[in-house]
Amino acid sequence: MYIVKKLATEYNIKFGGKTTPGRKWYNLFCARHPNISLRTSQNLTTSRLLVSEADISNWFQEVKNYMDQDKLTSILDDPRRVFNTDETAFFLNPKPGKVLAQKASKNIYTSAGADDKDNITVLLTTNAAGQLAPPMIVYRFVRIPQNIAAAMPNE
């Protein structure tokens, strides 16, 4: 609704004499565009937003070249030496609001700026042989400045 209001102001469009679209306009918009629905977007930092498909392909090619050059490809023949790690993040900041997006779309993102997302991450690692490593918890340690720490009660 904010973007619609911004565009309407820029192009001098009115909604029944008002500059802001109302609930009726929104409902009619949704009726005219049944392929769009209200979805929750995911935060995506600027650094991740800038990664292209070509960047990912280049990374895999660099890894392949490294393994070929150092004759390490035999590692891939032993399932105990092929690992995969996946993460589950527990966010400490609120999720973004809902946005309108095409119904068939699977990933909806909201730009979250350049800062990393505040979260605690649990990493689970397994190898191709099915062996599970102990989970790892990753968090960012925040150092409390001395003047604040000195004022805190010792408990």
- Dump pLDDT digits (tens) for 95-128: 667 778 888 887 777 766 545 557 788 999 999 9
In a domain, residue 81? The reply is: yes
Structure confidence at residue 41 (pLDDT): 81
Half-sphere exposure of 78 (CA within 13 A, CB side): 6
In a domain, residue 93? The reply is: yes
Please say if the pLDDT value at position 130 is more than 90: yes
* Domain interval for residue 87: 33-151
Structure confidence at residue 104 (pLDDT): 81
Structure confidence at residue 56 (pLDDT): 95
Cα–Cα distance, 133 to 81 (Å, whole number): 12
Cβ-based neighbour number of residue 21 at 10 Å? 19
**Angle value at C-alpha 61, between 56 and 62, nearest 5 degrees:** 95
In a domain, residue 27? The reply is: no
Structure confidence at residue 90 (pLDDT): 78
pLDDT for 22-78, tens place per residue?
888 889 999 999 999 888 888 888 888 899 999 999 999 999 999 999 999 999 999
Highest mean pLDDT among 14-18, 21-25, 28-32, 146-150: 28-32
In a domain, residue 85? The reply is: yes
pLDDT tier for residue 91 given thresholds of 50, 70 and 90: confident
In a domain, residue 21? The reply is: no
Q: How many domains does the chain have?
A: 1
In a domain, residue 16? The reply is: no
What's the average model confidence in pLDDT over 81-102?
Answer: 80
Cα–Cα distance, 151 to 149 (Å, whole number): 5
Structure confidence at residue 95 (pLDDT): 63
Please say if the pLDDT value at position 151 is more than 70: no
In a domain, residue 10? The reply is: no
Query: What pTM was computed for the model?
Result: 0.42
In a domain, residue 25? The reply is: no
